[in-house]
Amino acid sequence: MCSDLDYEELVADICYGNHTIVMITQERGIDNMEIEIFPLTKETKHLVFSLNDFLETILSAKKHLIRMQKLPED
């Protein structure tokens, strides 16, 4: 979880090794989250990892963003 200056809301970065491979944003609302997939470097042709682990990581990031969302000010 991090606060990126390009976004008003928190974002979730998902990294594998030294590479950020995915960023989940909630700029369009908590029910309309978007996932941005980043291109690999020239040195990295492709990444291979467990599909179940990847799905669990995405769902976990989504849950954290929901839990940490900004509450309306009173």
Condensed to tens digits (0 to 9), the pLDDT of residues 22-67 reads: 999 998 988 999 999 988 777 777 788 899 999 999 999 999 988 8
What does the pLDDT read at residue 69?
Answer: 78
What tokens were used for 36? 């941005």
For residue 14, count other CB atoms closer than 10 A to its CB. Answer: 18
Say if 42 falls within a structural domain: yes
| Domain total in the chain | 1
Give the structural domain span for 34. 12-67
Residue 39 located in a structural domain: yes
Q: What is the model's pLDDT at position 63?
A: 92
Tell me the pLDDT band of 74, cut-offs 50, 70 and 90: very low
Q: Write down the pLDDT at residue 1.
A: 77
